[in-house]
Amino acid sequence: MTDIQNIIPLLCCPRTKLPLRELSSDEQNNVLELAKGQKLFDRSGLKIDAFDKALITIDGKSLYLIKQGVPFLTYEMGITLRG
């Protein structure tokens, strides 16, 4: 178990407070496919082309990237997937 996996149960979406879970590799592939067809942006407007790991809300609506083992959990750095 990596350090991030130990703290995931303690993390939540900064806006909705919904619990987060790690994005599976299949889900990650699906999101990256969407990014190819449509431009994928975080809420601040930064274009997202690729990522290694991410956390997703349990309702599947928001995605938060993990960079160099650090989850970026500000609302502006989140990615709205639907809804």
Q: Identify the pLDDT of residue 49.
A: 80
State pLDDT tens for residues 1-17.
457 788 899 999 999 99
Number of domains into which the chain is organized: 1
Domain of residue 27, residue span:
3-80
What pTM was computed for the model? 0.86
60, two tokens: 């599947």
DSSP 37-77: HS-EE-TTS-EE---SEEEEETTS-EEEEEETTEE---GGG
